[in-house]
Structure 1
Amino acid sequence: MNTFLAVIIIFAVLVSIHEWGHLVFAKRAGILCREFAIGFGPKLFSFQRNETLYTVRLFPLGGFVRMAGEDPEMIQIKPGYEIGLKYHDDGKVREIIVNNKSKHPDCEIIQVEKIDLEHDLTISGYMNDEEFVTLDVDEKAHYVYDEKATQIAPYNRQFASKSVGKRAIAIFAGPLMNFVLAVIAFIAYALIAGMPTEEAQVGALTDDGAAIEAGLEPGDTIVEIEGQAVEDWFSMTEEIQSKPEQELDFVVERDGEIFEVSMVTQVREGPDDEEMGVIGVYPPMERNVLDAILFGFTQTYETTILIIEALGMLVTGQFSLDALAGPVGIYEYTGEVVAMGILVLFQWTAILSVNLGIINLLPLPALDGGRLLFIGLEALRGKPVDPQKEGMVHFIGFALLMLLVLAVTWNDINRLFM
C-alpha cells in the first residue's frame, strides 16, 4: 500500500507540475484553456474555476491542457437554426441556448442568418416579430447545450492566434517545470540530509568498520596517513582506497590532542569491479542553503547529461529496448525506493522529473518536442503547417507511443516472472 500511495503521489506531482507549466504560460499569452486534466479517459471528478475545468481522469498515463483552437469546436450553429439568447445589461449576448430552449423561458428566440463567434462576434437573424437584427456577442459568452455551458473562443483567445514565440513558450513551459521540480527536490534532499564537507574529518562510522574497531570517534580529524599529510576528504579517501587489505598508520587529532593509530583496510568492490580499501567512515554533513541550491542545480544538470547519454546509447544500439522500464518497472523500483526512506524518495522523484522533461522534449509526434518542431517549421516557412496534416502526424505518433508503452510494460511483466 505504501508503494501504491507513493506512486500515485509522485505521478500526480510530476504530471501536475508539467501541465501547470503549460496552463500558466498559455493563460499569460491570453489563450483560453478549457480543461486542465490529470490522466486520460473517463472523468473521476472535476471542478470549474474561472474559465478552466479541472479534472482527474481514470487512466494515469499523463495529462493535458486543452487550449481553445487546438480541436474543432464541438458546437456548430448554421444559418436557419433557431437559438435562444440572454443578454448582459449593456445589451451584449451572454448566453446562446442551442437546445432545450423551453427550459429558458426568459430567453429571446432568433432564427440565425449569419453568426461569427471568432472575429466579428455578432449574430444576425430574425427575431420573433420577423425583425432582422444584428447583435453583439460578449467575448466571454457561453453556449448552453444540454444544459451544459461552454465558453466561446474568439480567434484572439485561440492557440493559433498567438505569435510563434508565445506558443513555443507555452509548450516548452511544461518540460521546463519538470526541471524546476527536480532542482527543488534535490535542494530539499540537501537541506534535510546535509552536504558532505571537504574536511578529512570523521562524521559517522559503520558498525563493523576498521575505524570503529581502532577507536576512532565522530569529530576526529585525520592529519596524516603513512607519513603523508592529508589535505582534505578526497585525498584521504584516495589514499585509503588505493590500499585494500593493507595496514596503514594514521595520525589523528581529537579535541586538540594528537595521537597515532593503525588499522587494516577492508575490501569493497568499486564501480569497475576493482577492489578498493575502506575503513568504514562517512564525512561530516552540514546544512547550508547556498550549497544546497548549488547542489540542486548541479545534480539536475548531471542527471540530465546521464539520461541524454543513455538515450544516445539506446539510439546507437548500445542499449536494447529491454533496458527500458515502463509503468510496471517504475512501480517496482519505486517500491524499493520507498523502503530506503524519504530522502532517497526525494532523489528518485527528481530523477523521474528530469526524465519526464527530457522525454517530452524529444522531437517526436504527440510529444511537446514534436509540437515545438512544427512551430519551428512555421517560423522557418513563414506560414503554419496544414493543421489537419499536423493533427494526423500527432495522432499516428501518439498511437506509436502507446505501442511503445505496451511493449515496455510487457518487458516489465516478463522481468517480474523471470
Structure 2
Amino acid sequence: MNPLGIFRSKFPPVKQVLSIMLAIILADFLFAYAFGQVVAALVIVFLIIIHEVGHWIPARMMGLSVKTFSVGFGKTIYQYPKPIWGTYFRLSSVPLGGYIVPDDDDMARAPIWKRAVFISGGPLMNLLCAVLITFFSYTLVGEPQAFKPTGSVIAELDSKITAAYDSGLRVGDEFVNIEGQRVFSAREVFNALLAHQSSPVAVDVKRGDQVISLKLDHDANGKLGLKGVRQKGYVPYAQVGVLTAAVDAVDKTAEATGATLEWLGKLLHIVPRSNEEQVNADQLQSLIGIVQTGGELFQSGLADFLAFAAIVSLSLGVLNFLPLPALDGGHLLFLAIEKMRGKAVSVMVQRWSSLGTIGLLLLVTFYAAYNDLIRLVGPHWAAPVTALLFCLLVRYTVPYSVRISVTRRLRRS
C-alpha cells in the first residue's frame, strides 16, 4: 500500500518526493534569478499559439475541418476528450509553440481563395496582435516621445573619489557650459569631461538661481568622482487619447514592418547599404537570446516589455509571410503558381522544398543559438550546450519510429 496515499504510479514515493523537491528548487531559482526570462518565454509561446489561432478560426468559419490543435510539439501529454468546434485540443511535451492539423481532403477540395485566407490568417493575427499590444502600451503607459534634453543635473558623487566635490561641485548642480561649450545631455557632459581628462576643466553650473564658475581638478588617477548625471526636463512618455493611440499604433506597426523588411533585405544583400552599416548574421538572435533580451526589458518596466512583445509578434508575422517553402509565405507562393498553371504543385516538390527550408532554418537557428550561448556561458561551453539542445530537440520532436529508421539506415550504410 502506498503510505502517502497520493502517489499512484510505478515509482516509489521517495523518488516522487525528490522530484517534487527538485521542481520546487528549480521554480524558486527561476523566480529569484530569471523571472523576467520566464515571463518573456511564456509571452513568446503565447504569441506562437495566437498565430495558430489565426489559422484555426478562419478555417472553421469557412467550413474547413481542423483535426488537431496542439499547444507544444512532440509527444502528447494530455488531450481534451471532446472536440471543440470539431477540433481536438492537446498539450504536448515541448512547450515551444504549437501547431494545427487541417483535414487534407478538405484542403484539397477547397477553392484557392479559401486556402489563401486560411494560410494568411496566422501572420495577420500576429500583425494585429502587434497593433493591439502597441495600442494598450500607449493607453496604459503613454506614447514614447522624441529625446529632447533640456539640461543635465548631477545625481550622485563618489564618496571615495572626492576630486569633483573638492572642486566645488554638489549634487543637484546643473551643467551649463564645459570649456565654453553649451551642454544639454548627459552624454555631452561625459564626452566633454573625457576630452579634458588630462587637465583642469572650466565649467559653469547652475545652483538654484545662480550660475557658478568652477575649475575641476582631477585626482592622481585622472578621475573626478562623478558617478551619476540625470536628464532634466525629459518626459519619456506622453498621455494620448484612445483614438490617437489607435492611429499611432497602426502607424508605428507599419513603420516597424518596413524597418524589419529593410533589415532583412540588407542582411541578404537585396537592399543596398552604406559602408558604415553593420548588418550581418552575427546580429541574429535565437530563442535563447530573445528570451534573455525579454527578461532584461521586463526589468526595465512595463512600456519596454510591451514594446518587446509587440516586436516579437510583428517579427512572427513578417517572417512567416516570406515566400519560403514550409513558411506561410511559401504556401501562398505555391497557391499563386497553382492559380497561374491551373494545377497544383506536386506534393513531392512541396515536401522536398519544405524540408530544404526547414534544414536551412535549423542551421540558422543553431548558429544564432551558438552566438547567444557564447555571450551567456562563454566560448568553451557554447558548443557542447548547443549540441545538447540539438539532441533534446530531436529527442522530443522527432517520432521514435523515425529515429529508429534513420539509425538503422545509417548502420547499414
Which interval holds the TM-score relative to the shorter structure? 0.5 to 0.7
CA drift at 1:207:
5.2
CA drift at 1:262:
6.6
Equivalent-residue separation in structure 1 for 2:154 and 2:60 (angstroms): 54
**Corresponding residue number in structure 2 for 1:294:** 247
Q: Which has the higher strand share?
A: 1
The 1:193/1:207 distance shift into structure 2, 3 A limit, reads farther
Aligned pairs for 1:213-232 (under 5 A) are 213=172
Single out whichever of 404-413 and 277-286 deviates more from structure 2.
Answer: 277-286
- Whether 2:133 is the aligned partner of 1:185: answer yes
The 1:27/1:289 distance shift into structure 2, 3 A limit, reads same
CA drift at 1:344:
1.4
- Whether 2:317 is the aligned partner of 1:357: answer yes
For residues 363-400 of structure 1, what are the alpha-carbon distances to aligned partners after superposition, in whole Å with 9 as ceiling and x for unaligned?
11111111111011111111111123212322332233
Letter in 2 for 1:324: L
Asked if 1 retains the 8 angstrom alpha-carbon contact of 2:75 and 2:92, the reply is yes
Equivalent-residue separation in structure 2 for 1:289 and 1:197 (angstroms): 17
**Corresponding residue number in structure 1 for 2:162:** none
1:408 to 343, 360, 368: 368
Letter in 1 for 2:110: K
**Corresponding residue number in structure 1 for 2:98:** 63
**Corresponding residue number in structure 2 for 1:230:** none
For residues 393-412 of structure 1, what are the alpha-carbon distances to aligned partners after superposition, in whole Å with 9 as ceiling and x for unaligned?
22332233223222221222
- Whether 2:79 is the aligned partner of 1:46: answer yes
**Corresponding residue number in structure 1 for 2:297:** 337
The 1:195/1:413 distance shift into structure 2, 3 A limit, reads closer
Partner SS, residue 40 of structure 1: strand
Asked if 1 retains the 8 angstrom alpha-carbon contact of 2:68 and 2:87, the reply is yes
The 1:409/1:197 distance shift into structure 2, 3 A limit, reads closer
**Corresponding residue number in structure 1 for 2:117:** 169
Name the TM-score, length of structure 1 as normaliser: 0.60
The 1:370/1:248 distance shift into structure 2, 3 A limit, reads farther
Asked if 2 retains the 8 angstrom alpha-carbon contact of 1:328 and 1:409, the reply is yes
Equivalent-residue separation in structure 1 for 2:286 and 2:334 (angstroms): 28
Equivalent-residue separation in structure 1 for 2:205 and 2:299 (angstroms): 39
**Corresponding residue number in structure 1 for 2:60:** 27
Asked if 2 retains the 8 angstrom alpha-carbon contact of 1:240 and 1:278, the reply is no
For residues 214-262 of structure 1, what are the alpha-carbon distances to aligned partners after superposition, in whole Å with 9 as ceiling and x for unaligned?
79xxxxxxxxxxxxxxxxxxxxxxx957997799999xxxxxxxxx987
Asked if 2 retains the 8 angstrom alpha-carbon contact of 1:195 and 1:291, the reply is no
The 1:36/1:214 distance shift into structure 2, 3 A limit, reads same
Aligned pairs for 1:75-114 (under 5 A) are none
Aligned pairs for 1:94-173 (under 5 A) are 155=105, 158-173=106-121
Partner SS, residue 403 of structure 1: helix
Equivalent-residue separation in structure 2 for 1:323 and 1:285 (angstroms): 32
The 1:336/1:386 distance shift into structure 2, 3 A limit, reads same
1:282 to 218, 230, 234: 234
Asked if 2 retains the 8 angstrom alpha-carbon contact of 1:338 and 1:345, the reply is yes
Equivalent-residue separation in structure 2 for 1:164 and 1:335 (angstroms): 42
Q: What is the number of equivalent residue pairs in this alignment?
A: 292
Q: Where does structure 2 lack aligned partners over 5 or more consecutive residues?
A: 1-29, 157-168, 175-182, 193-201, 214-228, 271-277, 380-413
Asked if 2 retains the 8 angstrom alpha-carbon contact of 1:214 and 1:261, the reply is no
CA drift at 1:171:
0.4
Aligned pairs for 1:193-212 (under 5 A) are 193-195=141-143
Asked if 2 retains the 8 angstrom alpha-carbon contact of 1:214 and 1:263, the reply is no
For residues 258-310 of structure 1, what are the alpha-carbon distances to aligned partners after superposition, in whole Å with 9 as ceiling and x for unaligned?
xx98799xxxxxxxxxxxx9952123732411121122112212221221121
The 1:44/1:342 distance shift into structure 2, 3 A limit, reads farther
Name the TM-score, length of structure 2 as normaliser: 0.61
**Corresponding residue number in structure 1 for 2:326:** 366
**Corresponding residue number in structure 1 for 2:398:** none
**Corresponding residue number in structure 1 for 2:386:** none
Letter in 2 for 1:15: I
Q: Where does structure 1 lack aligned partners over 5 or more consecutive residues?
A: 70-154, 216-238, 251-259, 265-276
Asked if 2 retains the 8 angstrom alpha-carbon contact of 1:197 and 1:286, the reply is no
Equivalent-residue separation in structure 2 for 1:369 and 1:32 (angstroms): 21
Letter in 1 for 2:258: I
Single out whichever of 7-16 and 320-329 deviates more from structure 2.
Answer: 7-16
2:348 to 388, 392, 398: 388
The 1:164/1:3 distance shift into structure 2, 3 A limit, reads same
Q: Which has the higher helix share?
A: 2
Partner SS, residue 299 of structure 2: helix
Partner SS, residue 41 of structure 1: strand
Letter in 2 for 1:174: G
Equivalent-residue separation in structure 2 for 1:413 and 1:56 (angstroms): 29
CA drift at 1:201:
12
The 1:197/1:403 distance shift into structure 2, 3 A limit, reads closer
The 1:66/1:261 distance shift into structure 2, 3 A limit, reads farther
Letter in 2 for 1:329: G
Partner SS, residue 385 of structure 1: coil
Equivalent-residue separation in structure 1 for 2:361 and 2:149 (angstroms): 51
Bigger radius of gyration: 1
Partner SS, residue 282 of structure 1: coil
Equivalent-residue separation in structure 2 for 1:248 and 1:299 (angstroms): 41
Partner SS, residue 343 of structure 2: coil
The 1:62/1:197 distance shift into structure 2, 3 A limit, reads closer
Equivalent-residue separation in structure 2 for 1:29 and 1:332 (angstroms): 40
The 1:262/1:292 distance shift into structure 2, 3 A limit, reads farther
Asked if 1 retains the 8 angstrom alpha-carbon contact of 2:46 and 2:97, the reply is no
